[in-house]
Amino acid sequence: MAMPALREATVTQATTARGADLVLIALQRAGTDVVFGYPGGACLPIYDALPDHPWLKHILVRHEQGAAHMADGYARVAGRPGVVMVTSGPGATNLVTGLASAYMDSIPMIAITGQVSTALMGRDAFQETDVIGMVTPVTKHAFLIQRTEDILPVIARAFQVSMEGRPGPVVVDIPKDVQISEGSTRAGEPRLRGGHAMRDLDERAFDEAAELLAKARKPMIIAGHGVRIGRAHAGLRELAERLDAPVAMTLLGIGVIPDEHPLAAGMIGMHGSPRTNRAINAADVILGIGLRFDDRVTGKLSAFAPNAKIIHIDIDETQIGKNVPTAIGIAADSKSAIDALLARVQKKTHPEWRAALDADRAKPKLAQFEDRMELAPRPVVRAIREIASPDAYFVADVGQHQMWAAQHLGFTDPDRFLTSGGLGAMGYALPAALGAQVGAPDKEVWALVGDGGAQMTIQEIGTAVQEDLPVKMIILNNGYLGMVRQWQQLFFNGRISQTPITSPDYVKLADAYGARGFTVERRGELRPALEAAKRATGPVIVDVRIEREANVWPIVPPGGANADLIEGPSS
Amino acid sequence: MTGQRFRLVVEREVGALERVLGVARRRNLGVESLSVTSTDPQTWNVQLHAREVAPAEASLALRQFSALTNVRLARIEEV
């Protein structure tokens, strides 16, 4: 039997190789060194070839949805596409939620799906699904490889498509016979067909935007995920200071300007700060960069920013004018756009505007209610922040705890908060945290989850144990699907329907998987448990029994205008 | 018959036409007719006749067609 290294050399130096080897060679050429996957019949040739490519680390997940979320978390932290490898049929169908989440959040990802052999396709073969048809709406692109010689150029092209312009997931579906056949290892560069390279900057539009900003008396900036993806936060801060314009952030824009910066205005939208939402309502010019103005940001569209002219800059031209009418729309990446504006705008001051905003700072109305609670959500989140390392990553699942995390963790760095912002996929946090930990092995990674989302992907704690990934999973456990319960309470006449949910004993569960577990039921137990989690060298679950009926405040009623937000239980 | 006609040059690749139809569906273009012809082995010429839609929606649809990886050229004309 050939030794792996010898076999690897043989494979990479040969003029032909099996399709399965070509897949792995293509990944190597693209700079991939880790894959999140799950083997099965239609990708067995690739898994058979895997030991011959020891440079590639494979993380064996417990469910394919977990693989996609792990690749997502990895990509956000490592700054390059996460790679997933699964089998046909259920392997591919299980990916869909993770692909859709990555698509909506502009996360680069490559998903290699095994497919039944070409002779069986369309015959309802065992574990056959129409992968291309299924994933098309939730991916940037999807390729079906029908010839072995196409493997190298198509996978190279898939990486290119995933990264260029607005990033996103790309699926490469490879039938089993294509994996088994021989093909050339010398395939050339990918055919650069289609292609959507960014156009030259529209200088005139930037001139007009600068002119509008110069005339503004009440300017606001709204920064989205595009600012983080474009590594434009330093320029954004300079631009905000130059314009004397407060910066509101979307959920995925959190951290683009440090919380303590005087121009940081906090999160906008459904659970944004009242002060920020009121400021947007009063602004006369809004500069939106790297966001799509989705409904969670705008609230009722017809009432959004009624006094403002909107300048919208996004790398994705199809977002401009889609949701809000724009005075000036510019298709450009955030960094180039901000640099172009910095070259045009002069220093401005708006003392009256700033003073009005400062006078409107939210009062800590919730404190009186928190005192009555044994474990109120906000102090729990603050304690996590205080105990975690300053450069820790935080991954939030979806629901009430996600909003508490966004509101109260307090970020000084643009890259430390991961969450499924667009799709809102419960079950995201634990696997995404594992991916983040793989991407940043020397950093602390804390996953904040609810007891509903925890039970959607809890099996990935097995992956954490097997791979020895020291993720700290903090379950904010209130015995409810809390956000839905909150909506039932506030907007459905208090009629509680199917939202109370039981949980397993998470300490026993952690123990059964070989992880450590703690339960926190009293204030005094919180910090010792979090300190122990911080010190742990392996995965930890901390089950924090928070106040059962605590709500997320403020909240804009569904379909309502941001100005109509409910600030708290007393309003 | 009034409305807009979208003329697209689309690479001949698995899923390319489905992606075009996906944009038409999500933008609620109301497809009246669709024809696909071929003039060379690499591309399809697609003509999609939509019922009259608001100019802003038609413009957005055109940009979304243009953004598809397999679409080489997209234009729109009033009919």
What is the least distance, in Å, from the CA of A214 to any CA of chain B?
28
What is the least distance, in Å, from the CA of A141 to any CA of chain B?
7
A137, A144, A318: residue with CB nearest B67: A318
> Residue A338: enclosing H or E segment and its boundaries?
helix A334-342
Segment A14-22 shows an average pLDDT of 91
Segment A63-84 shows an average pLDDT of 98
Look-up: residue for tokens 């894959």? A35
Tokens representing A132? 């291309």
Of A388, A400, A406, A460, which is closest to residue A428 (Cα–Cα)?
A460
What is the least distance, in Å, from the CA of B2 to any CA of chain A?
24
Q: Are A428 and A479 in contact (CB under 8 A)?
A: no
Query: Has residue A507 got a pLDDT over 80?
Result: yes
B60, B64, B69: residue with CB nearest A161: B69
pLDDT at position A3: 41
Query: Has residue A4 got a pLDDT over 50?
Result: no
A146, A161, A193: residue with CB nearest B11: A193
Q: What is the dihedral of CA A86, A90, A95, A100, to 10 degrees?
A: 150
Q: Do the chains contact at B59 and A321, CB–CB below 8 Å? A: yes
Query: Has residue A194 got a pLDDT over 50?
Result: no
Of A266, A237, A225, A556, which is closest to residue A410 (Cα–Cα)?
A266
On average, the pLDDT of chain A sits at 93
> 3-class DSSP state for residue B77?
strand
pLDDT at position A569: 82
> 3-class DSSP state for residue A104?
helix
Q: Do the chains contact at A143 and B14, CB–CB below 8 Å? A: yes
Residue B8 pLDDT level (bands cut at 50, 70, 90): very high
The predicted-structure confidence for A435-447, as pLDDT tens digits, reads as follows 999 999 999 999 9
Single pTM value for the model? 0.95
What is the least distance, in Å, from the CA of B63 to any CA of chain A?
6
Domain that holds residue B11: 4-78
Active site residue A176: yes
Q: Of the residues A85, A115, A483, A518, which is catalytic?
A: A483
Look-up: residue for tokens 């992968």? A131
Residue A59 pLDDT level (bands cut at 50, 70, 90): very high
Query: Has residue A10 got a pLDDT over 80?
Result: no
**Count of CB atoms situated within 10 Å of the CB of A284:** 16
Segment A248-272 shows an average pLDDT of 95
Domains and CATH numbers, chain A: 4-184 (3.40.50.970), 203-359 (3.40.50.1220), 367-552 (3.40.50.970)
Going along A44-146, which residue ranges are E strands?
57-60, 82-86, 109-115, 141-144
Q: Of the residues A85, A109, A159, A176, which is catalytic?
A: A176
Beta bridge partners of A313: A289, A330
Determine contact: A194 vs chain B, CB below 8 A: yes
Query: Has residue A193 got a pLDDT over 60?
Result: no
DSSP state of A526: H
- Chain B residues in contact with A150 by the CB 8 A cut-off are none
Query: Has residue A367 got a pLDDT over 70?
Result: no
Q: Are A106 and A166 in contact (CB under 8 A)?
A: yes
Segment A295-322 shows an average pLDDT of 95
Spell out which chain B residues touch chain A, with contact meaning CB-CB distance below 8 angstroms: 11, 13-15, 18-19, 22, 26, 56, 59-60, 63-64, 66-72
Query: Has residue A208 got a pLDDT over 90?
Result: yes
What CATH number corresponds to the domain at position B73? 3.30.70.260
> 3-class DSSP state for residue A410?
coil
Segment A212-238 shows an average pLDDT of 97
The predicted-structure confidence for B24-75, as pLDDT tens digits, reads as follows 999 999 999 999 999 899 999 999 999 989 998 999 999 999 999 999 999 9
Query: Has residue A388 got a pLDDT over 60?
Result: yes
Q: Do the chains contact at A144 and B67, CB–CB below 8 Å? A: no
Tokens representing A39? 């083997």
Q: Are A491 and A561 in contact (CB under 8 A)?
A: no
Q: Are A455 and A430 in contact (CB under 8 A)?
A: no
Q: Of the residues A85, A115, A121, A127, which is catalytic?
A: A127
Look-up: residue for tokens 């995390």? A405
Most confidently modeled of A8-12, A469-473, A555-559, B74-78? Answer: A469-473
**SS3 annotation, A286-329:** EEEECCCCCHHHHECHHHCCCCCEEEEEECCHHHCCCCCCCCEE
Q: Do the chains contact at B67 and A137, CB–CB below 8 Å? A: no
Tokens representing A298? 């705008």
Provide the ipTM: 0.91
Active site residue A28: no
Lowest mean pLDDT across A98-107, A153-162, A193-202, A549-558: A193-202
Segment A50-76 shows an average pLDDT of 98
pLDDT at position A365: 56
- Residue among B69, B72, B73 with most chain A CBs within 10 A, to mutate: B69
Per DSSP bridges, beta strands A141-144 and A169-175 are parallel
Query: Has residue A297 got a pLDDT over 50?
Result: yes
- Chain B residues in contact with A318 by the CB 8 A cut-off are 60, 63-64, 67
Share of chain A above pLDDT 90, in %: 88
Sign of CA dihedral A316, A321, A325, A330: positive
The predicted-structure confidence for A451-470, as pLDDT tens digits, reads as follows 999 999 999 999 999 999 99
- Chain B residues in contact with A140 by the CB 8 A cut-off are 69
* Intra-chain end-to-end CA distance of chain B, in Å: 7
Determine contact: A571 vs chain B, CB below 8 A: no
Specify the number of domains making up chain B: 1
